[in-house]
Structure 1
């Protein structure tokens, strides 16, 4: 074997070993709630680990101020590691809403940031749309437009439409119920009727062809 080939193989082996070690450290950090420390030295940090611990803090029916403070701290640690962590931004907005019995400017900013990062999030869209409607009176016009645009996009297929329907039906703010009902008609009921009519027409057409 040539010396250059041996050097390349050695380098490749070393890289594989380093990659494996880093992956292992990150798995351990995830299992330990976001970070792996030895003494005062932080060896690995994983944003999703912080998210998991933060969710545990707010998962109770009535989280206290200490739970909320810890959840916000962990959420901000997650964002520090991964600024595009939409769920962490939404959690901060949610915490703000609980603390202030409605969104403050900081909560509105966190919700707006989540839309800036991901305008339509198939996973988080139902929750985010519902949350926006519950806090509709505190949202600026641009943020209301973002929420409705996400609702429109979510309704593009049957699966998303059913999730949107559940989110809209769960709105409890009496001031926003008319908006939720309007969206229900516009983005759930009407498209479903159109699809149903299209299916019926297609079935009739197929029947005529067979006859």
Structure 2
């Protein structure tokens, strides 16, 4: 079901393709309710269908964080999706996205990919949130390293 939903979302995004993607994603959730990717497919399909952010897209994104708060398989995509809609996110969704950023950032090899992803974000508010959070993380790492060097 997830693969079929993904294929439907890779096609030209007609109303029929969006409906098919959502149907397949919901079928995947019936088999495995903890599938983060399926919830994100629903969020994306709804966002495309609505022509912008919608409460339904927000709820699907929120559910994806509830069932898989730190999912390395979809984390970068989900974080970009959240950053693209930063101004529309609830405070709880912003907090979840920043927690995921913190976790992904702590894995040093991910930083280059995260920086590249952030450079592609169209939302100025999302880019600013990313920059502020990563600066804070880098400062905290320097303070920690300095404290560890002290005898």
For the superposition of Structure 1 and Structure 2, which TM-score range results when normalised by the shorter chain? Answer: 0.7 to 0.9
Instruction: Report the equivalent of 1:19.
Output: none
CA distance in 1, matches of 2:135, 2:116: 13
- The 4+ residue runs of structure 1 with deviation greater than 6 A are none
* TM value normalised by structure 1: 0.63
Q: Counterparts of 1:1-211 in structure 2 under 5 Å?
A: 50-60=1-11, 62-187=12-137, 190=138, 194=142
* TM value normalised by structure 2: 0.86
CA distance in 2, matches of 1:177, 1:82: 33
CA distance in 2, matches of 1:136, 1:65: 25
Cα shift readout 1:43-100 (whole Å, capped 9, x = no counterpart)? xxxxxxx10011001113x411111010000110010111011100001001111111
**What RMSD over aligned residues (CA atoms) do the two structures have, in Å?**
2.0
CA distance in 1, matches of 2:117, 2:73: 13
CA distance in 2, matches of 1:152, 1:139: 18
Structure 2 unmatched runs, 5+: none
RCO higher in structure (CA 8 A, sep ≥6):
2
Shift of 1:167: 2.1
Shift of 1:114: 0.6
Structure 1 unmatched runs, 5+: 1-49, 202-211
Larger Rg: 1
Q: Which is richer in strand? A: 1
Cα shift readout 1:158-185 (whole Å, capped 9, x = no counterpart)? 1122232222122112343322322343
